[in-house]
Amino acid sequence: MNINLQTKWIIWSLLLLQPLSAHSYSHCEAMLPKVIEDSVTSKCDTTFLFQQLILPVSLIAVGAFGVCNSNFKKLNSIVKNDMDELRGSRYFHADDYVQYLPIISYLGLDFIGVKSKHCFKERLVVGASSYLCMAIFINSTKHIVKEPRPDSGARNSFPSGHTATAFTGAELMREEYGTMVGLGVYAFATGVAFLRLYNGRHWLNDVIAGAGVGILSARIGYWMLPLYQRWFKWNTPKSKETVVLLPGYSPDSRSWSINFAYTF
C-alpha cells in the first residue's frame, strides 16, 4: 500500500504537533523548579500572555488559508486520496466518542488522587467557559465558511469540531495537571485529528484550524477564571466547600426544623 510522501510528512507533523503545543505556553512554568511544576499558582496559569496566542492563532490562520488557496486545496486532495487508499473500507469511528475523554479526565482525575491546581468548581466553570467559546466559534465559522466535507459534500467542514473538542480538553489538562500529563493528552488529541482524516470526514486544513480553536478556547477559559473568582468571592484557588446542618426548634409553633447552609 503506497502512501504519498507528502501525506507521510503530514502524518508526522500531526504527531509532532502535540509536544509543540504542550510546550508552547510553558513561559511561566519555565521560571519554576521542575519539582514544583505541577503545583504552580493560580496567578501563573490565568495571566494573559501574548505568547499564548502565537500557536493557536497560527494554526487557525493556516487552516483558514487552506480554505481559499488553490495549492493548499491540492494538498488537501492528496492527503484525502492517500487516506482513502490507506483506509479502504475499514472505517474506525472511535473519534465520535473518545473526543470527550480529555474533558472527562480534566474534571475527574482529581477525585482519584491526581493533584490538580484548582478545585472542582473552578475546573467546572473553566471547562464550561472553554467549551462554550469553542462551540460558538466552531458553529459560527461553519455557518459562515460553508466548506464542503470531503465525504458527503455537506457544507459544514471547516473547522473540525471533533478536533477542537479534543484539543480544548488537551490544553485544559496540560494547564491543570502539568506538562507531562499534557503531552500524553495532546498525543491523544492528535490521534482524534488523524482519525478525522482517516475516516474522510475532514480536510487537512479543517483539523489544523480545529486544533488552534481548541487550544485558544481553553486559554480563554483560564483567562476568565479570575473574573469568576471575584464574582463568586472565591478568594483562594483551593477554597473549601462547607456544608452545615443545624437543628432548630420554634416554641411558638412547637415544631422542629433542619437548617441547611452551603458555602463555596
Res 25 pLDDT > 90 = no
Residues 91-99 have a mean pLDDT of 96
Mean pLDDT of the chain: 83
Res 238 pLDDT > 80 = no
Res 6 pLDDT > 70 = no
221 or 232: which carries more pLDDT confidence?
221
14 or 176: which carries more pLDDT confidence?
176
Q: Are 225 and 218 in contact (CB under 8 A)?
A: no
Percent of the chain with pLDDT over 90: 67
Look up the pTM and report it: 0.77
Distance (Å) of CA 73 to CA 11, 99, 188, 205 = 17, 26, 26, 9
Distance (Å) of CA 205 to CA 57, 161, 173 = 14, 12, 24
Res 22 pLDDT > 90 = no
Percent of the chain with pLDDT over 70: 72
Res 62 pLDDT > 90 = yes
Q: Are 152 and 174 in contact (CB under 8 A)?
A: no
Q: How many CA atoms lie within 13 A of 63 on its CB side?
A: 29
Q: Are 101 and 170 in contact (CB under 8 A)?
A: no
Residue 47 confidence (pLDDT)? 85
Res 29 pLDDT > 50 = no
154 or 8: which carries more pLDDT confidence?
154
Res 131 pLDDT > 80 = yes
Q: Are 105 and 172 in contact (CB under 8 A)?
A: no
* Cell numbers representing residue 136 in the block: 460558538
Read off the pLDDT band of 193 (50, 70, 90). very high
Read off the pLDDT band of 233 (50, 70, 90). confident
Residues 107-135 have a mean pLDDT of 95
DSSP annotation of 256: E
**Among 72-81, 94-103, 107-116, 255-264, where is mean pLDDT lowest?**
255-264
CA distance 49 to 29: 13
Cα end-to-end distance, the chain, whole Å = 59
29 or 149: which carries more pLDDT confidence?
149
Residue 5 confidence (pLDDT)? 56
Comparing CA positions, the residue from 196, 199, 137 lying closest to residue 166 is: 196
CA distance 170 to 246: 43
Residue 87 confidence (pLDDT)? 96
Comparing CA positions, the residue from 117, 111, 119, 113 lying closest to residue 45 is: 117
Residue 225 confidence (pLDDT)? 95
